[in-house]
Amino acid sequence: MSSKIKILIGILVIIVIGIISWLIWNKIRPGINELYCEQDSDCIYRCGCKNKKFKDSRNILCKPIAGATCKCTNNRCETILPKKQEVTLATDKTDYVEGETVKITVTNNLNQDIWYWDNLGETVPLVGIQILQNGEWKGLAKKDACSCKENCTHFSNGLVDLKTKGIITDSWDTKTDCTGLIIEKGKYRALFTYYLDAVAMNKTEVYSEEFTIKYETSNWKTYKNEEFGFEIKYPSTFNFKEKQGGLFGIEFPKLNLGLIIERKPENFSDLENYLNTIAKEKNNDCKIEDGADKRYCYSVESKDFGGNKTLALIYRPLGGNSAAMGCIGIDVYFENDDYLSVASYGYCSVDFDENWSGPAALAAVENYNIIQQMLSTFRFLE
């Protein structure tokens, strides 16, 4: 093959490559020019934000989004969608300690007025408060704030109008007040009920994000045991003493909380199987017959103490007053490579019934809450 022919072939190859490159460039160029921008004014909303000078030959039909705007970001037109039109409920924080006030804001982002009940004489007049218990949201009973004040009158403003874009605020005092209300520590959310008319026909409920109430533990003491390598925090107002059982134990008499350290048995595989075996053996006595008030049924449940997740052995009486009052015993197990720590306590569900009142019930609920927070601080030392 002569050199001239080789040159001609080379030229033809270059021409073919150029044509192909030109076709590819024209194919992708609309996509580049379509979104390119140098400032916000270069963009316009047209089935999404595009460069306003770009002419699209494609026949595309789309439904425009009302209120959408455009922004030039990194030389690219981006679509900014409008905020959703809704009524929002927000708290000022997501984490609180006992005694703090939860500040709540309701904002009407709808393009119309709404109506809500304004009940004066209640501790939280505008919104409701719910607590997460056993995986279910339960409403807290609104207490009578007038019992805390002199010359306080019960009345309602009835249905109150909240204008479009309007804002109202409410608050919830989480400390124990003169009504005897004790706030259980845990996860909560606020609830706001409103209507789209002045005759309360179209009811709608909105919720805030979850928020948490914890005990203030910065002034708590820390018990640390170097021999068995664990520590736990406790309120400075409570004393402890050594407890019989296991390799070592302590107890807090006022809380009826005991904690012992056991060495893991040789056949120990994992905590779940270990506890299920114990429950299965003990459930041989889980029968309704004579002496049922002294018989228990056992189960294994997962527990989460403020992120401190573990398993517990639960035992419930079959009969007698304890069963009638919903009393249960709980052995919470924590583990490391060598030891098991067993924290034992109990409670009666009747004490948490809002219709069941009295100093003893209130004290029992408070002790239960303290135990939950104490167990959230337990840890084996590394």
**251/256 Cα distance (integer angstroms):** 7
> What is the full per-residue pLDDT of the chain (382 aa) written as tens digits?
567 676 777 777 787 777 776 565 555 444 457 888 999 999 988 778 888 888 776 656 666 677 788 989 888 888 887 767 789 999 999 988 877 889 999 999 998 899 988 765 444 557 888 888 767 888 875 554 455 555 555 555 678 889 999 999 888 877 654 444 556 678 899 999 999 888 777 789 999 999 988 777 788 999 999 999 999 999 988 899 988 888 999 999 999 999 999 999 988 999 999 999 999 988 876 766 555 556 788 999 998 886 778 999 998 887 767 776 778 899 999 999 999 999 999 988 877 766 666 677 778 888 888 898 899 899 999 8
pLDDT of residue 347: 87
| pTM of the entire predicted model | 0.55
pLDDT of residue 203: 86
Q: How far is CA 298 from the centre of its chain?
A: 29
CA torsion 315-316-320-321 (nearest 10°) is 100
Q: In Å, what is the CA distance from 122 to each residue of 139, 222, 352, 353, 366?
A: 15, 39, 21, 20, 23
DSSP state of 353: -
DSSP state of 129: E
pLDDT of residue 13: 73
**268/197 Cα distance (integer angstroms):** 64
Q: How many CB atoms lie within 10 A of CB 338?
A: 11
Question: Residues 6 or more apart from 314 whose CB is under 8 A from it?
Answer: 298, 299, 300, 301, 328, 329, 330
Amino acid at 180: G
Per-residue tokens: 100: 């703090």
43 in Cβ contact with 33 (< 8 Å): no
DSSP state of 87: E
Sign of CA dihedral 315, 321, 324, 325: negative
pLDDT of residue 2: 67
**Would residue 326 be called left, alpha or beta, if left means φ above 0 and alpha means ψ between -120 and 50 degrees?**
left
Q: pLDDT tens digit string along 185-217?
A: 788 999 999 998 887 777 899 999 999 887 777
Per-residue tokens: 184: 């259980």
Domains, the chain: 3-80 (no CATH), 87-214 (2.60.40.10), 221-380 (3.40.1000)
168 in Cβ contact with 162 (< 8 Å): yes
The beta-strand segments (E) located in 75-227 are: 76-80, 87-91, 95-97, 101-108, 114-120, 128-133, 136-139, 155-162, 167-173, 186-195, 203-207, 211-214, 221-225
> Judging by DSSP bridges, how do beta strands 257-263 and 339-348 pair with one another?
antiparallel
Q: pLDDT tens digit string along 221-235?
A: 999 999 999 999 999
